[in-house]
Chains A and B, each alone.
Chain A
Amino acid sequence: MKKNIATISPGFEDIMPEEYQDLVNDGPYGRGLGIKNLGTFKELIEEHPLCAGCGLALAIRLTAASLPAPEDTIIVGTTGCNSILMPQLAIHNIHSLFGNQSSLAAGLKRALKLRYPDKNKDVVVMAGDGGIADIGLSPTLHTWLRRENLTTIMLDNESYSNTGGQESGMSCEGAVLNMAPTGKKFPKIPMPEIAKDSGCAYVATVSVANARRLGRMVKRAILVAREIGPTYLQIFVPCPTNYKFSTSETLKRAKEREKIMEYISSEAEKLIKEANI
């Protein structure tokens, strides 16, 4: 997108909603902003209807603020709590079905490569743990194995939250959840390890409580996907509604169980160094 494309036609200034005017006058397009600038610009995310204290909502907010090129980024989500928020983002985003986000994103990315050979168009998959690790595992893996230039970001709340807190493959062993009435019988799916083995050039895990690091990881993941190949970022986003804790405890819980991991291929290492992120 051209930097000045989001403008308001003369005479329409007073009709356009205030939030849109803010976006035009003070939005993040083409400005190379990040987490450290939060509070100084109009964010891509406006109000949203997710639960109070939702870790996932905060993760989307932080991710949106960290996109290296929001003016040329398309986000592909999938059914789940993310799809309730995504339409509020001032960025092209797609909800298609539950579990097909990666394959759809692959088709989109290939189309954009053909149509804009001289431009970066970052396609970012952002979806829930159920969407990525269970129902969408096959296309997730296959886009990695095919080395598609996609960034995959898992919003890991360790359950199917949108449908009322059922066990997912990313729930912890022993967790008692809907559809796991006697506790989950197997451990969390080792997605970071699988991502590494499947050809991701950059793999990282973090929690939503670690804003700066999360922001840096988002930038790295997208840059590497753009230039080298698939990347995977797994963000732990506790869900107060289904895990039934106080909405004020989200960040505390995120911090307590946060696992920070970063795998960077040697090729990606060079790129990240050169880009200084």
Chain B
Amino acid sequence: MMERKVVDPEYMFKRAPREKKFLIGNEAVAEAVKRANVDIAIAYPITPQSEATHIVGDIYAEGYIKDYYRGEDEFNVMSAIAGARMGGARTFTATSGPGTLRAFEMFPLWAGARLPVVCAFMCRGVNSPLTIQPDNIEIGWLMDTGMLIFHAENPQEFFDMTLQAYIVAEQPDVHIPIGVCVDGFFVTHTREIVEVTPEDEMLPPYDPSTSPVPIMDMEVPPIRQMRDPFVMKSNYISYNTHASWQQEVRAAGERAKKHIARYVGKFIEVTNPDAEILLIASGTAAAQARVAMEQAREKGMDVGLAKIRVIRPFPEDEVRELAENPRIIIVPEHNIVGWLAREIKSRIDNSGKVRGHPRVFGGMTMPPEFIMEEIVNGRAR
């Protein structure tokens, strides 16, 4: 194990020298974990995620992570992650599709217990029929858990956002979980140039004393948390406690915005904002939309692109502003439900201009031609 030094997060994200490596997404996220000063990682196999947590295991074996094991299933892995966080440790885990669903009861718990868990979701389709192919329908389900959600387009963003997620999640006025999502295979198994920070530099450790809720270590005096447990009482105070706590979790998400702006950067990356036709996309759909936009512009069509990088907290103001000018908004997605189109429609006034197509799912790829077809159809309207 090499000697390493703690560096300032902002320096690491913005100014640290970068070395070019040729990595698949699963390797890129593991490189991030290596630099994240993680205490405990817990793994459970599922394609297309497994390789990432294999490498994290190797990093543990080399001494860069203090504890690591394979759990019994995703629900119990996410539970152990919660326990480790409640005990004041920094954690890492990852899962995909069916694993996400198996673990689901834990996600609102993470948020409600104010645990700054960072979890990578390498999205894939869910059964039935049996599939292991790329499909990001699970993001649509995760959106209402209270968790913050970043959607990385490529291995580079996967590397950067994973590191940044720790620093945002652990801010005392945030302190809620962040899911760093990528489209399985398209990112996890695609090799690209990734610029990584020096191997001997790592994030500062998590400081449990900054937690807004007590760490469960009996190092601060215990209090009787409640005289009348809420669950027992049918009265205004118990309802209001639960209601205001849920609001507080959402408020923590709103408070994260300033930290995201500082450490992660733009919520939305926009090219040609004044175009007649605006493509709005996230993840690898944004990569395909970029190609389609370029092809369309070569043909003289007035097309722009807004790539949404942060799904929760949703950048509502920016999206409302972006939605004012274009005549048509096209939202290509890698899932059947169209969660991004649904989200955009629900936030803007003139939702009739939003076309939630093309949608590909079940492992299908999204050739730019599909998006081009929507652009051409849209122009004809």
Contacts and interface: CB of A to CB of B under 8 A. Distances in A.
B237 to A, nearest CB: 15
B268 interface: no
Q: How large is the interface on A (under 10, 10 to 19, 20 to 34, 35 or more residues)?
A: 35 or more
Contacts of A71: 218
Contacts of A74: 216-218
Given A49-B228, A84-B231, A96-B79, A110 B84 contact: yes
B66 interface: yes
B73 interface: yes
A46 B79 CA distance: 29
Contacts of A116: 217
Contacts of A106: 80, 83
A138 B76 contact: yes
B40 to A, nearest CB: 6
B224 interface: yes
B217 A121 contact: yes
A110 B86 contact: no
Interface centre among A104, A112, A146 (most CB of B within 10 A): A104
Given A47-B227, A88-B227, A110 B105 contact: no
Contact of B222 (A91, A112, A146): A91
A258 B71 CA distance: 35
B298 interface: no
Contact of B84 (A91, A93, A108): A108
Contacts, number: 145
A138 B88 contact: no
B83 to A, nearest CB: 3
B224 A139 contact: no
Interface in A102-152: 102-116, 121, 138-139, 142, 146
A5 B221 contact: yes
Contact of B89 (A20, A103, A114): A114
Contacts of B214: 92
Interface size class on chain B is 35 or more
A110 B225 contact: no
A234 to B, nearest CB: 22
A103 B218 contact: no
Contact of B72 (A97, A112, A142): A142
B190 to A, nearest CB: 32
B344 to A, nearest CB: 33
B46 interface: no
A149 to B, nearest CB: 13
19 contacts: A1-B219, A5-B221, A49-B232, A88-B227, A89-B222, A89-B224, A92-B214, A92-B216, A92-B222, A96-B79, A96-B83, A100-B79, A102-B76, A106-B80, A107-B84, A108-B216, A111-B40, A113-B67, A142-B72
Given A97-B79, A139-B76, 14 more contacts: A1-B218, A5-B220, A6-B222, A20-B223, A83-B229, A92-B214, A103-B71, A103-B79, A104-B86, A108-B86, A110-B67, A110-B84, A111-B39, A115-B87
Interface of B: 39-40, 42, 66-67, 69, 71-73, 75-77, 79-89, 91, 105-106, 109, 113, 208, 214, 216-229, 231-232
Interface of A: 1, 5-6, 19-20, 46-47, 49, 71-74, 76, 83-84, 87-94, 96-97, 100, 102-116, 121, 138-139, 142, 146
Closest 6 CB pairs of A and B: A111-B87, A107-B83, A107-B80, A103-B76, A108-B83, A111-B89
